[in-house]
Amino acid sequence: MYTEKVMDHFTNPRNVGEIPDADGIGEEGNPVCGDIMKIFIKVDDGKISDIKFKTFGCGAAIATSSMVTEMVKGKTLDEAEQISNKAVAEALGGLPPQKMHCSNLAADALHKAIEDYRSKHKS
Ligand code: FES
């Protein structure tokens, strides 16, 4: 039912944890199941230099969070903002249809973390 990539990121998630002095934090809840995800970013020179996540959610949510952190590390904020829920699911080789809603959390939390950073660093 899950692709190998999903299982890999679920059993061995990348970038799990918190960044205590994060430059931006995004939190997103999934109205479908009530699961929650938090993403922390560090920004240097307009690029995401570090990213970590915490997910209180299902295996698909963990896998998509892990994948999104790998996809955006080192990217500019503008590039990271372009990453859609669909792109994350595709990078994992797809998700079962009943689990597609789980992939919304990761990209939405990332976009909120970028918004948070931008609202604190207006210049
Ligand atoms: Fe809640 Fe997957 S069931 S995020």
Which residues, judged by CB distance below 6 Å to any ligand atom, belong to the binding site of ligand 1? 30, 33, 35, 57-58, 60-61, 102, 105
Kindly give the distance from the C-alpha atom of residue 58 to the centroid of ligand 1, in angstroms, as a whole number: 5
The pLDDT, as a whole number, for residue 110 is 97
- Name the nearest CA neighbour of 3 among 77, 67, 81: 67
Cβ count within 10 A of residue 115: 14
Q: Ligand 1: which of 9, 28, 32 to mutate, judged by most atoms within 8 Å of the beta carbon? A: 32
Q: Which domains does the chain have, with CATH numbers?
A: 4-115 (3.90.1010.10)
Q: What percent of the chain has pLDDT over 90?
A: 86
- Of 11, 17, 18, 33, which is the active-site residue? 33
The number of the ligand 1 atom at minimal distance from the alpha carbon of 105 is 4
CB 1 within 8 A of CB 93: no
CB half-sphere exposure, 19, CA atoms < 13 A: 20
Q: What is the pLDDT of residues 2-17, one digit of tens each?
A: 999 999 999 999 999 9
122 pLDDT above the threshold of 80: no
Q: Does residue 123 register a pLDDT over 70?
A: no
119 within 8 A of 80, measured Cβ to Cβ = no
33 is catalytic: yes
Residue 32: its pLDDT value, please? Answer: 86
The predicted model scores a pTM of 0.94
**What is the residue whose two structure tokens read 């790998």?**
70
CB atoms within 10 A of CB 83: 19
Catalytic residue among 67, 80, 102, 106: 102
What are the strands, taking DSSP E only, across the chain?
A: 24-29, 36-44, 47-56
Mean pLDDT of 85-112: 92
| pLDDT (tens digit per residue) in 31-70 | 889 999 999 999 999 999 999 999 999 999 999 999 999 9
CA distance 42 to 19: 8
Mean pLDDT within 108-121: 96
pLDDT of residue 121: 87
Is 102 among the catalytic positions? yes
